[in-house]
Structure 1
Amino acid sequence: MLNKLLVAVSIILNLVLTIHILYNNNSTTWNPTWTNRAAAEAEAAASVPCSGHGRAYVDGLGVLDSHKPPCECNNCYTGQDCSVLLKDCPVDADSGDPLFLEPFWMRKAEESAVVESGWHRMSYRYYKLGAFVSVELEMIIRELHSIMGNAVTDNRFIVFGTGATQLIAASVHALSQTNSSYPSRLVTSVPYYNMYKQQAEFFNSADLMFEGDASAWKQCDNITQVIEIVTSPNNPDGKLKCAVLDGPNVKTIHDCAYYWPYFSPIIQPVDEDLSLFSLSKTTGHAGSRFGWALVKDEAVYKKMNTYISLSTMGVSRDTQLHALQLLKVVIGDRGDEIFHFGYRTMKKRWEKLNKIMSMSTRFSLETIKPEYCNYFKKVRDFTPSYAWVKCERLEDTNCYEIFKAAKITGRGGEAFGSGRRFVRLSLIRSQDDFDQLIAMLKKFVSKEAVVVVESI
């Protein structure tokens, strides 16, 4: 009798233990252990309201002394909780920080969060492959372009870089002639992104010389060793661009950082030998410093990889993990939510800007004809990241200074090779920044009518 009882008890205990193991292995109520502190710190910082005009971060000033993360206020706001708006504060319309997407990611707090162990990817390389790149991240980038229809990735190598900035340098290095009697000439269309010129002049390589406007070389009979950078959509004016030069001695880099539905209709996939993209203008995470190049030629791919390897030993593994999680969120619904959110935001901003500028005879905006967008399946306007403004009055010879005097800090046209009659105004910063820009522009443009009346 006793033996039967012991057997029964043993069976019951085994069943209980089995159920317990199975339940714990499959339970959705799994309780974390070592992630509690990190999660609590992240949520504590994110919960600081800052009056809606700033943010608190886990690495904010004072946290090493166990202080609560302080508010870091948006431009023109101050006070411990960012509740004080400074009067007559200059508007920052210079920076290209894509903070217009911040509200989307705040809504996606749970899906986009990343927690990693203290021993995450301590090696220089990914162990099994001995490489500097995450295979999963490369796969998700290919899937993203397939969904968006904005770039061909078949038969392309992918190079990761510390933002598009490093990839520009790596591309130029890979395409430059080495050990040549004459340096390669770097050209691009005016107006051009000023980083191209700045990099070429800063590195001061014997193998490369910045030569400015590509159009100036179009009639040249003897084009040799030319590298043309095609920025499409263009920074600063938002236009879709094509290469100006061609021929056996011309090599082309296509900077497509802004070719996303927030800013431009997706007309056709980019199908070029070398094209560049960045996380900054894809998800808005400029601070993560991550970009990628799609490269057709294996020799160019290897040269770019060598440049990245020797300069930074690849891209931070933590950055690649962060980018992977963000892009998983993006493609989760085939980009529908983030790209509709971003496009609606930019569309509303352009509508407000156009309404104000239409009342001005002193300033004009670059206009671009609407195009059919293959992603949204409709004809739509361009909604560029920046407003490319021209000062029309003959006496307004320095547009940057004209706007600066009105407490609007943009970026002068000279930086883009276009002369002083132009200024670039950023439209992709935070909602506070945009609201301040609109308020100051209204005030500025309204003075035109007063000046006209007084001059009569």
Structure 2
Amino acid sequence: MAKGMQGFGYAFCLLLSVLLNILLVANILYGGDGEWRLRELKWSQDAAAAAETVAALQCSGHGRAYIDGKIGDDGITPVCECHNCYSGPDCSLLLPDCFADADSGDPLFLEPFWVQNAASSAVVVSGWHRMSYSFPGSSNPGSAYFSQELENHIRKVHAVAGNAITDGKYIVFGVGSTQLCNAAVYALSLENSSSLSPAKVVAKIPFYPLYKSQTEYFETKYYEFQGDPSLLKNDTDAAGNVIEFVTSPNNPDGHLRAPVVGGPFARAIYDRAYYWPHFTAIPAAADEDLSIFTISKLTGHAGSRFGWAIVKDKSVYENMFMYIKAAELGISKETQLRALTLLKTVLQGDGRGIFNFSYEKMKSRWEKLSQIISQSHRFTLQEISPKYCNFFEKIRGPSPAYAWVKCLWEEETNCTTVLEAAKIIGRAGSMFSAEDRYVRLSLLKRDDDFEQLLVRLRELVAIEDGAKTM
């Protein structure tokens, strides 16, 4: 009997202890003012409510309000920011004489995907989030400034997409691929610093204009921009002192490329911004010494300014990191957090959702534009042959980011001017060191922009015969 009472006493004390702990936890989490609100989570609720309020403004489907955008006259209500060609307080007014803007590479075509995945991709940041310059730990030079968890997710995304081998390689973060391009030029130029002449930086025409403008802007005694590799034919020092940008798929024409310059000391920087299943077939995982990627063309978040390089050689990695450290003292912790959150969403389920969504949209856009241009004898598009894609495990057609349009009529040597007369804004061929008979049209922008481009192209093709006789 005594033992039974003793056991009961132990059980009673245990129950009392559990209840006491529950009350203590409740006292910590909840206010004592009778309002059943989580005291410690109150700040996140307010932040979430503000974001939800702004997101609820529909702006007729032709605009969007932002939490950091303009505020109305009442000092409270956010104002709609209208898409191109739309106006009015709720962006419902279509401007009839508006120009179709197909100039920039803003990847806003992915916005609907993120609207569908609003909950998993949302980021709420506390006021005390990562206030330090660095992360704890220092297993390699970049670990103090680069999120290890973000690096792990980058490797996982590449494994799912099958577009790059990351095993045994280093990853360095940058402010978009833009910063990494020059960091790579700098690092590779140091690898051959024994040469008496600066490294010659080259890129095959047509090439992305940043390579030239940025290299010339930051030109040092270590490197200089030389243009197309064909210009090096008579240069006896070229084979051992060249850094070549290899853009694959290429911007502007979407073609997969290989290096032009050979030799044991020639170095290549592979710009792989568009090497994702939604822009091109993936015939094999990239396994270069130095490849550059950007979240801009993976998720569409160009404004976050985040990119990464996959680097094989440790000394090149360390020199790229030192460039980033000297320029920025690392990458914004808020940017890294957002990138991590986005990649977690990308990897949900089997990790194929964003690629399936994006490929179908880009394929549809290319088909619609090609159908219009096929009816023309004034313009032509680049040819991209169907290829087997390891990601989709089938032969697939083209879905490039850009249309590389050529004006065929002999007298029309400036295709940009021809399109501007038809209220279409493109990017001139000379921007890519090509003839102005070419013009690049972006297929990456919002649905409103793309539909306006199709409208203007249909009108232009419809009047071809009349335009020829004028």
For normalisation by structure 2, the TM-score amounts to: 0.90
Where does residue 202 of structure 1 map in the other structure?
217
Q: 1:238·1:385 contact (CA, 8 Å) conserved in 2?
A: yes
1:183 has 2:198 as partner: yes
| SS of aligned partner of 2:417 | helix
Please give the residue correspondences for 1:90-109 in structure 2 after superposition, counting only pairs within 5 Å. Answer: 90-109=99-118
User: For 2:387 and 2:55, how far apart are their aligned partners in 1?
Assistant: 40
Q: Residue 430 of structure 1 aligns with which residue?
A: 446
Match of 1:43 among 28, 52, 55: 52
- Distance in 2 of aligned mates of 1:328 and 1:15: 37
For 1:19-418, list aligned pairs within 5 A.
Answer: 31=38, 32-62=41-71, 66-129=75-138, 131-177=144-190, 178=193, 181-217=196-232, 221-223=236-238, 224-418=240-434
Give SS of 2:180's match.
Answer: helix
| Map of 2:31 onto structure 1 | none
Q: Against the structure 1 CA distance between its residues 374 and 397, is the aligned structure 2 distance closer, same or farther, given a 3 Å change threshold?
A: same
Residue 147 (structure 1) shift: 1.3
Q: Secondary structure at the match of 1:310?
A: helix
Q: What SS does the corresponding residue of 2:215 show, helix, strand or coil?
A: helix
Q: Quick one: distance in 2 between partners of 1:234 and 1:97?
A: 16
1:80 match: secondary structure: coil
Task: Tell me which moved more, 228-237 or 77-86.
Answer: 77-86
User: Residue 176 of structure 1: SS of its match in structure 2?
Assistant: helix
Structure 2 SS opposite 1:332: coil
Tell which deviates more after alignment, 172-181 or 133-142.
172-181
Distance 1:446 1:20, change over 3 A: farther
1:90-119 Cα shifts (integer Å, max 9, x gaps): 111001000000000001000101111100
Cα-to-partner distance string for 1:327-354 (whole Å, 9 max, x where unaligned): 0111112332111110010011111101
Deviation, structure 1 residue 214 = 1.6
Aligned AA (2:231): A
Deviation at 1:58, TM superposition (A): 0.5
Q: Distance in 2 between matches of 1:368 and 1:213?
A: 22
**Shift of residue 449, structure 1, vs aligned partner:** 3.3
User: CA-to-partner distance for each residue in 1:387-421, whole Å, 9 max, x for gaps?
Assistant: 00011111001111111111111000001111111
Indicate conservation of the 8 Å contact 1:225/1:249, yes or no.
yes
Deviation string, structure 1 residues 32-77 (Cα, Å, up to 9, x no partner): 3221110011101111111101111100123898421211111111
Distance 2:381 2:87 in 1: 33
Q: What is the TM-score when the length of structure 1 is the normalising length? A: 0.93
Q: Which amino acid aligns with 1:109?
A: A
Q: Deviations over 1:263-312 (max 9, x none)?
A: 00111010010000000001000000000000011110110000000000
Return 5+ residue gaps in structure 2 as ranges. Answer: 29-35
- State the 1:180 CA deviation: 5.0
Q: Distance in 2 between matches of 1:22 and 1:149?
A: 47
Offset at residue 86 of structure 1 (A): 1.1
Which stretch has the larger CA shift, 50-59 or 213-222? 213-222
* Matched AA of 1:217: L
Alignment length (residue pairs): 447
Q: 1:15 to 1:356 in 2, by over 3 A?
A: same
Query: Residue 389 of structure 1: SS of its match in structure 2?
Result: strand
State which of 421, 427, 434 in structure 1 corresponds to 2:437: 421
> Matches of 1:347 and 1:412 in 2, distance apart?
24
Q: CA deviation at 1:378?
A: 0.9
- One-letter code of the match for 1:174? A
SS of the counterpart of 2:185?
helix
**Contact 1:24–1:30 at 8 Å: present in 2 too?**
no
Contact 1:55 1:72 in 2 (8 A): yes
* Distance (whole Å) between structure 1 residues aligned to residue 14 and residue 427 of structure 2: 78
Instruction: Kindly provide the amino acid, as one letter, of the partner of residue 189 in structure 1.
Output: K
Q: Is the 8 A contact 1:193 1:416 kept in 2?
A: yes
Counterpart CA distance in 2 for 1:261 and 1:125 is 34
Structure 1 stretches lacking a partner, 5+ long: none
User: Which shows bigger deviation, 200-209 or 82-91?
Assistant: 200-209
- 1:248 Cα shift? 2.0
Q: Within 2, Cα distance between the matches of 1:89 and 1:375?
A: 39
Q: How far apart in 1 are the matches of 2:326 and 2:74?
A: 38
SS class of match (1:196):
helix
**Equivalent pairs: percent with the same residue?**
51
Q: CA RMSD in A?
A: 2.5
Distance (Å, rounded) in 2 between the aligned partners of 1:329 and 1:23: 32
